[in-house]
């Protein structure tokens, strides 16, 4: 069965007390065809080039996945981000920072973004004489909704790269809660995805990451009720200032809006 904790507990109460159960978090199905094709081609290319699959995957993300830059104080290590690399050093207000490029992991890509990654991989394969998909086959695979056995709701709550860029610019590259201007990312939902919060600029803000002392994003998601409340109010004020007719009801996925 699939359901939230309460539904499952109610159901479990009625079960035979001697039986054993295993509980796993339910994940929506992705477009198996598109994903499978990607990993199959990647392993073929990996054999041909004699480069490990993981390394090759990182190379692909570097070229074909949306990226953004974050600043990390020079004396701090970057943690918890899978695909990133140090690009340069800068000095800001007398402090030294490393500039990192962060690449979006494939499971976070939107339909279109994944199509670009897959097309890029096909190009690389062709150069090595590996048989790939024809443009028509590729189009058909990608138009199946792309990563897109993803539900409509799930797609609607994704944040596209263009929204991230707009939000980052709108917020002046600062955390909208504490004003911090490094280790920030434009990827926080005001109304969370779990409640159907849309990936639109009116619902997305820049917050500082776990790498900072304030950790506004982490606190907003996992902090105490009081922390979440205070941060939520600040985000709300910020968004209201930016959008005169901002309305919380417009930020939530509605079935009938398809
Ligand atoms: Zn902050």
| C-alpha span between 8 and 175 (Å, rounded) | 38
120 exposure class (CB count in 10 Å sphere: 0-12, 13-18, 19+): middle
Tell whether 123 is covered by a domain: no
Q: What percent of the chain has pLDDT over 90?
A: 39
Instruction: Go through 63-78 and write b for each residue having 16 or more CB atoms within 10 A of its CB, e for each that does not.
Output: ebbbbbebbbeeeeeb
Residue 61 lies in a domain: no
Domain coverage including residue 196: 151-258
Q: Is residue 241 part of a domain?
A: yes
Q: How confident is the model at residue 29 (pLDDT cuts 50, 70, 90)?
A: very low
Is the Cβ–Cβ distance between 204 and 159 less than 8 Å?
A: yes
Most confident of 39-43, 131-135, 181-185, 193-197: 39-43
Domains contained in the chain, number: 1
CA of 85 to the centre of ligand 1 (A): 23
pLDDT the model gives residue 148: 43
* Distance (Å) from CA 162 to ligand 1 centroid: 22
Instruction: Give yes or no for a contact between 210 and 125, defined as CB atoms under 8 angstroms apart.
Output: no
| pLDDT surpasses 90 at 41 | yes
- pLDDT at 235 > cutoff 90: yes
pLDDT at 243: 96
Which residue, among 114, 152, 136, has the nearest Cα to 37 in the 3D structure? Answer: 114
For 135-154, what is the mean pLDDT?
67
Q: Tell me, what's the pLDDT at 131?
A: 86
The secondary structure of 230-251, three-state, reads HHHHHHHHHHHHHCCCCCHHHH
Please, are residues 109 and 118 in contact by the beta-carbon 8 Å criterion?
no
CA 205 to the chain's CA centroid: 14
What is the mean predicted confidence (pLDDT) over 89-106?
A: 89
Ligand 1 center from residue 11 Cα (angstroms):
41
More confident call, 256 vs 220: 220
Q: Give the other-Cβ count within 10 Å of 54's Cβ.
A: 11
Residue 203 located in a structural domain = yes
Instruction: Say if 191 falls within a structural domain.
Output: yes
Average pLDDT of the segment spanning 35-53: 91
Cβ-contact 30, 149 below 8 angstroms: yes
CA of 208 to the centre of ligand 1 (A): 4
If one compares 241 and 76, the residue with the highest pLDDT of the two is 241
DSSP-assigned states of every residue in 153-212: HHHHHS--HHHHHHHHHHTTTS-TTT---SSEEEEEESS-GGGTB-SSGGGEEEEE-TTS
Please provide residue 127's backbone torsions phi and psi, each rounded to the nearest 5 degrees: -60, -30
Whether 175 maps to a domain, the answer reads yes
Report if residue 73 sits inside a domain.
Answer: no
Instruction: Report the separation in Å between the CA atom of 111 and the middle of ligand 1, taken as the mean of its atom positions.
Output: 30
CA of 175 to the centre of ligand 1 (A): 5
pLDDT of residue 161: 86
- Please tell me the least confidently modeled range out of 41-50, 107-116, 194-203, 210-219: 107-116
- Residue 171 in domain: yes
The H or E element containing residue 217 is helix 216-222
């Amino acid at each position: 069965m699939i359901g939230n904790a309460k539904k499952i507990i109610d159901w479990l109460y009625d079960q035979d007390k001697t039986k054993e159960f295993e509980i796993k978090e339910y994940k929506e199905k992705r477009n198996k065809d598109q994903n499978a094709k990607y990993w199959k081609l990647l392993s073929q290319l990996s054999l041909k080039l004699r480069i490990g699959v993981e390394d090759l995957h990182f190379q692909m993300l570097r070229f074909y996945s949306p990226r953004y830059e974050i600043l990390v104080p020079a004396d701090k290590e970057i943690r918890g981000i899978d695909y990133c690399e140090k690009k340069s050093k800068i000095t800001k207000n007398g402090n030294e920072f490393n500039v990192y490029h962060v690449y979006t992991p494939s499971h976070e890509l939107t339909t279109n973004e994944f199509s670009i990654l897959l097309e890029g991989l096909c190009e690389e394969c062709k150069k090595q004489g590996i048989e790939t998909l024809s443009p028509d086959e590729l189009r058909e695979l990608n138009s199946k909704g792309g990563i897109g056995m993803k539900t409509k709701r799930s797609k609607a709550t994704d944040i596209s790269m263009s929204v991230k860029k707009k939000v980052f610019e709108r917020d002046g590259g600062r955390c909208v809660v504490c004003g911090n201007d490094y280790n920030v990312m434009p990827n926080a939902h005001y109304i969370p995805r779990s409640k159907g919060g849309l990936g639109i600029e009116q619902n997305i803000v820049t917050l500082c990451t776990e790498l900072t002392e304030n950790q506004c994003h982490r606190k907003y998601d996992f902090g105490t009720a009081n922390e979440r409340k205070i941060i939520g109010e600040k985000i709300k004020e910020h968004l209201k200032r930016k959008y005169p007719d901002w309305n919380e009801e417009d930020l939530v996925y509605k079935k009938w809006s398809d």
